[in-house]
Amino acid sequence: MEYNIIHYTDCLDFLKLVDDNTMDLTITSPPYNLNLRVLKGQYTKLPTDSCMLRTKYKNGYSDSLTMGEYFEWQKTVISELIRVTKKYVFYNVQMVAGNKTALFKLIGYFAEYLKEVVIWDKVNSQPAIGQRCLNSSFEFILVFSKIESAMYRQFEHANFERGTLDNLWHISTLNKKSNGVNTATFPDQLVKLILENFSNVGDLIFDPFIGSGTVAVNSAKMNRKYIGCEINTDYSPIIESQIQLNNYTTDLF
């Protein structure tokens, strides 16, 4: 398998070509289905010209599946990620109206593969988008693994000592880079924390929703290999500039 490559394609199309246990670690954040809203007790897809429209997948994905479609899609994605990943899948997702029911169904469906739940405290939460809604100050990082590993909370592949790493991570979103296309990038600190504690030099890191390339860039900085998928070609110049800025090489397909 070639590495240090970004594939501009649907991740499921790419995953069909990947053998079991090819990736050492997966770090990703899927679409949150932000544009499916609950209005007057019913699910409503926001029109494309709505001032309420929110997306971190500009020009590449509507982010407005039905709840059932979102559940089935993410069920397939997670199943494939568990299949192709040797160690752990770090799956970051925020609970929003457009995915809440599907998210909890996914947690139940993959209960036997769920090794740990990390709460990412974003430190600086934005005000709620609607009246009488709680501010969302955290996101889930669901850690999946093969069943035989998920039975135990102990991480077989980890670099931290007993008592040194909590499952509540305080990482501010204020340090995130703005690139004008992706408004919901990973903070570098979050990716570095995962790489430092759950991977080794030379490991192959996968991100099926790589966006503007934070996982790729930090993997390269820490002497890990990477493969990414992204359906939105608008990100191509951003990823390329980040890679070149750090004097790394990558192939874009």
pLDDT tens column, 198-249: 999 999 999 999 998 999 999 999 999 999 999 888 877 777 777 666 656 5
Q: What pTM, to 2 d.p., does this model score?
A: 0.88
Beta bridge partners of 93: 140
Distance in angstroms (rounded) separating the CA atoms of residues 47 and 56: 16
Rounded-to-integer distance, Cα 185 and Cα 215, Å: 10
Say what the pLDDT of residue 64 is: 74
Domains of the chain: 5-252 (3.40.50.150)
User: Average pLDDT in the 149-165 region?
Assistant: 96
Section 160-182 average pLDDT: 79
Nearest to 5 by CA among 176, 191, 208, 232: 208
pLDDT band per the 50, 70, 90 thresholds, residue 53: very low
Query: Bridge-partner residues for 23, per DSSP?
Result: 85
Q: What is the pLDDT of residue 49?
A: 47
Kindly report the number of other CB atoms within 10 A of residue 26's CB atom: 25
| Neighbour-count burial of 245, counting CB atoms closer than 10 A to its CB (0-12 exposed, 13-18 middle, 19+ buried) | exposed
User: Is the confidence at residue 108, as pLDDT, over 50?
Assistant: yes
